[in-house]
A = this chain, B = another copy of it.
Amino acid sequence: MTYSIKEVAQKTGLSIYTLRFYDQQGLLPFVQRNAAGYRAFTEGDLRLIHTICCLKNTGMKITDIRQYIDYVMAGTATIEQRRELLTAHRRKVVAKQHQIEVSLQEIDYKLATYSAPDAVAQISRKIEAALEDHQLPVKR
C-alpha cells in the first residue's frame, strides 16, 4: 500500500506544493513513481519525511537537510557523518532554545510591567527619562 501526494500532505501538514518543492530540492530521493509518473509514498517514506520535519522544525536549512538525506541514502557507511551532522545541529538548537528562553523572560518582564496596577505611572516615568536623553547635547 502506498499514499498519494495529497494523502501525504494531509498526514504531514505540509502542502502538496511544499512536498513537490522538497522533492525538487533533493529531500525526497527515496520516493518511487508509479507507471503514470505519480509519486507513491510508502510508510518508510513517511517516517523519513517525519525526520525531515523534525530537522525543519528545529531550523535546519534545506541544503543541510539534503546533506543528511544524502548520507541516509548512502547507507550504513555514513553513520558517523550523520552523527556529526546531527550533533552539530543539536548544539545550534540548544543555543537557540536558550536565546528564546532569555528573550521570553524579558518579554514576560515587560508584560508584568503592563499588568501592574500602576503601569501608567511607571511607564510615564520612563518616558520622562527618555525625553531627557533627547534633550542632552548631541555629539559632533
Contact = CB atoms under 8 A, between A and B. Distances in A.
Contacts of A75: 127
B136 A76 contact: no
B136 A2 contact: yes
B136 A107 contact: no
A44 B133 contact: yes
Contacts of A107: 54-55, 58, 86, 89-90, 93
- Residue of A99, A106, A129 most packed against chain B (CB within 10 A): A106
Query: Which secondary structure dominates where chain A touches chain B?
Result: helix
A134 interface: yes
Interface in A2-48: 2, 4, 30, 32, 34-36, 38, 40, 42-45
B138 A32 contact: yes
A6 to B, nearest CB: 12
A139 B40 contact: yes
A58 B106 CA distance: 11
A129 B42 CA distance: 11
